[in-house]
Amino acid sequence: INKVDYHTCRNILYDKKFLDNDWISSDNTHTMPAPSTERVLKRIKEVYHQTGRKDADLKPTLSQYASVINTWTKCSRYELKAAPRTEKFLHELEQLSITDDFYKPTVEIYTTVIKAYTHSKHAQKPQLALRILQDMETRYKETKGEGIRPTLRTYHGVMNACAMCTHTGDQKDRTEALRIAFQLLKVMRASGVHEPNFVTYGTLIKATKNLVPPSETQDQIFRNVFAQCKRDGQVEGVIINQLRSWTSDPLFRELTERVPIRIGKRYYKNPNSNSAKLRNRGGYDGGNNSDNGGNNGWEDVMKDIPTEWKRNVLPLKE
């Protein structure tokens, strides 16, 4: 009976249709799958303990924990407790891994928890996301385990948490979020491992647009970010699109040095383009589709960008 119970629960956690469903009821209110998957995992753990932890086939798996974390992350936009719930399960895995390497959290799990805070309405989400990143760095230095080493995408997740503080906190909070985002750029450069790419600069441009009121100060930050982006050879079509959308005509012409850039076909229609990949991710590593300025690039833009500006742009990994 216990095995039947276990396998029923396990199949629910592996049901992609169930996990991907936003569960919108007939009255258009969200009925989240996350609490349900959490209860399923709880039942799996109960069954395993009832058997004296002797039957390996009944042992809760890392992927089952990941499923619960993923479903809570999907709820983080409209449920305040969602992000802390993902972190609760992350800490549970960290405790289990002390005595059992089977439960060592992966970099993907840490990055998913950061994404949960990115989408949340917590006023302190930049600090909360940064704390998780710093914990990852500490654990990596202690263990040298490549499976926990923060990736460029992890850093971008924290930057995006900063950029998406538009509707949380006050101006003081937004100023601190901007400081954290640019501090991360310095950390990335100092590491010698995570070289900033066009996603890095696109996220910083997005943070500037969202966190700094329109002013000469904002214009100067745009100038500084784009100048560094050009020096690094990381000017991608989405960067041009952001600047076209978020700066005045005179500033845009100044930034692009009056290089004629055609407005042609939207190049995210090409499924292999970087813009399409960003769009599939939900913006800059989990951004807000409706307000990232990076999903409406043009096919002709890349042809017109000077070679020196785009010399180091590489295709994004899926």
**pLDDT tens digits along 201-242:** 999 999 999 999 999 999 999 999 999 999 999 999 889 989
Who wins on pLDDT, 14 or 141?
141
| Structure confidence at residue 114 (pLDDT) | 96
Percent of the chain with pLDDT over 90: 46
Quickly state the pLDDT bin for 13 (edges 50, 70, 90).
low
| Structure confidence at residue 132 (pLDDT) | 96
DSSP class of residue 146?
A: G
Percent of the chain with pLDDT over 70: 76
Give just the sign of the alpha carbon dihedral 180, 185, 189, 195: positive
Residue 161 contacts by C-beta under 8 Å, 6 or more apart in sequence?
114, 117, 118, 125, 126, 128, 129, 130, 177
Quickly state the pLDDT bin for 46 (edges 50, 70, 90).
confident
Nearest to 236 by CA among 291, 273, 262: 273
Mean pLDDT of 285-291: 41
What does the pLDDT look like over 240-254, one tens digit per residue? 989 999 999 999 999
Residue owning tokens 């002013």: 215
Nearest to 42 by CA among 82, 81, 6: 6
- Name the pTM for this structure: 0.80
| Structure confidence at residue 22 (pLDDT) | 40
Q: Which residues pair with 24 in a beta bridge?
A: 30
Q: In whole angstroms, what is the distance from residue 265 CA to residue 262 CA?
A: 9
Q: In whole angstroms, what is the distance from residue 47 CA to residue 3 CA?
A: 8
Residue owning tokens 């089977």: 102
Is residue 21 scored above 80 in pLDDT? no
Is residue 49 scored above 50 in pLDDT? yes
Is residue 51 scored above 70 in pLDDT? yes
Nearest to 284 by CA among 163, 109, 145: 163
Looking at the chain, list the stretches that DSSP marks H as alpha helix, in order from N- to C-terminal side.
Answer: 2-13, 16-20, 34-50, 62-74, 82-97, 107-119, 125-143, 152-163, 171-191, 198-211, 216-231, 237-246, 249-255, 274-281, 301-304, 307-310
